[in-house]
Structure 1
Amino acid sequence: MTTGGPSYGERAEYGETDVCYRHPGRQSFTLCQRCGRTICPECQIASPVGVLCRDCVKQTAAGPKGAARVRRSARVAGRRFAALEYPVTMSIIAINVVVFVLQLLTHYYGSDGVTRALWYVPTYSLADGVHQVAPGALDGYPDGAYLNAEFQPWRMLTVMFTHSVGFIPHILFNMLALYMFGRNLEQLIGKWRFLALYLLAGIGGSLGVMLWGYADTSGLFTPTVGASGAIFGVLAATVVAFRSMNANVSSLVVLLAINFGIGFMPGANISWQAHLGGMVVGALAMWIIVQTRGPRLRTRQIVGLTALGVLLVALACAYLVVSPL
Structure 2
Amino acid sequence: MADQGPPEGPRGPDAGRSEHPGSGLAVCYRHPERETGIRCTRCERPICPDCMVDASVGYHCPECVRAAAAAARGSRPRTLAGGTVQADPRLVTKILLALNLIVFIGVLGAGTPLVRDLAMLGYARTGAWDTSTIGVASGEWYRLLTSAFLHQQFWHIGFNMLALWFLGPNLEAALGRARFLTLYLLSALAGSTLSYLLAAPNQLSLGASGAIFGLFGAMAVLLRRLRYDMRPILVLLVINLVITFMPGLNIAWQAHLGGLIAGAVIAWAMVHAPRERRALVQYGTCAAVGLVLLVACVLRTLHLLG
TM-score (norm 2): 0.66
Report the number of matched residues: 217
Structure 2 residue aligned with 1:274: 255
User: Following superposition of structure 1 onto structure 2, how do residues 125-164 of structure 1 map, counting pairs within 5 Å?
Assistant: 148-149=133-134, 150-164=138-152
1:212 CA drift (Å): 1.0
> Which of residues 88, 93, 114 in structure 2 aligns to 1:89?
93
Letter in 1 for 2:225: S
Query: What amino acid sits opposite 2:166 in the alignment?
Result: M
- The alpha carbon displacement at 1:83 in A equals 4.0
How much does 1:147 deviate?
6.9
Partner of 1:32: none
Write out per-residue CA displacement over residues 149-199 of structure 1, whole angstroms, 9 at most, x where no aligned residue: 5221111011100012xx311101100100011111000111100000000
Residues 1:188 and 2:188 are matched in the alignment? no
Structure 1 counterpart of 2:102, one-letter code: V
What CA distance in whole angstroms lies between the structure 2 residues aligned with 1:254 and 1:146?
Answer: 48
- Find the counterpart in structure 1 of residue 293 from structure 2: 312
Q: How does 1:192-231 map to 2 (within 5 A)?
A: 192-213=178-199, 219-231=200-212
Are the aligned partners of 1:153 and 1:316 in contact in 2 as well (CA < 8 Å)? no
In structure 1, give the amino acid aligned to 2:197. L
Letter in 1 for 2:242: G
Question: Percentage identity across aligned positions?
Answer: 36
TM norm structure 1: 0.62
Question: Highest CA radius of gyration, 1 or 2?
Answer: 1
Distance (whole Å) between structure 1 residues aligned to residue 244 and residue 283 of structure 2: 34
Contact 2:123 2:133 (8 Å CA) reproduced: no
By how many angstroms is 1:207 displaced? Answer: 1.4
Q: Which residue of 2 aligns with 1:116?
A: 116
C-alpha separation between the residues in 1 aligned to 2:88 and 2:227?
28
Separation in 1, partners of 2:142, 2:97: 20
Structure 1 segment 1-325 matched on structure 2, within 5 A: 83-107=87-111, 112-123=112-123, 148-149=133-134, 150-164=138-152, 167-213=153-199, 219-294=200-275, 296-323=277-304
In structure 2, relative to structure 1, the CA distance for the partners of 1:116 and 1:83 (3 Å cut) is farther
Q: Which amino acid aligns with 1:86?
A: R
Tell me whether 292-301 or 169-178 shows the greater mean CA deviation.
Answer: 292-301
In structure 1, what residue type is equivalent to 2:160? N
Q: For residues 11-64 of structure 1, what are the alpha-carbon distances to aligned partners after superposition, in whole Å with 9 as ceiling and x for unaligned?
A: xxxxxxxxxxxxxxxxxxxxxxxxxxxxxxxxxxxxxxxxxxxxxxxxxxxxxx
Show the counterpart of 1:75. Answer: none
Pick which of 289-298 and 174-183 moved more.
Answer: 289-298
Is the 2:120–2:192 Cα contact (8 Å) retained in structure 1? yes
Aligned residue in 1 for 2:61: none
Q: In the aligned structure 2, how far is the partner of 1:298 from the partner of 1:264? A: 37
Cα deviation, residue 97, structure 1? 0.3
2: CA distance between counterparts of 1:249 and 1:324? 45
Measured in 2, the distance between the counterparts of 1:284 and 1:296 equals 17
Residue 241 to residue 324, structure 1, CA distance change in 2 (3 Å): farther
Instruction: Quote the Cα distance in structure 2 between the aligned partners of 1:173 and 1:324.
Output: 36
Cα deviation 1:276-317 (Å, max 9, x = unaligned) = 011011111111112215354222322221122122111121
Partner SS state of residue 207, structure 1: helix
Over the aligned positions, Cα root-mean-square deviation in angstroms equals 2.4
Q: Secondary structure at the match of 1:270?
A: coil
Give the Cα–Cα distance (whole angstroms) in 1 for the partners of residues 277 and 214 of structure 2.
27
**More divergent stretch after superposition (278-287 vs 309-318):** 309-318
User: Equivalent residue for 1:134?
Assistant: none
For 1:303 and 1:289, locate their aligned partners in 2 and report how far apart those are by CA, in whole Å: 10
AA matched with 2:114: V
Q: CA deviation at 1:85?
A: 1.8
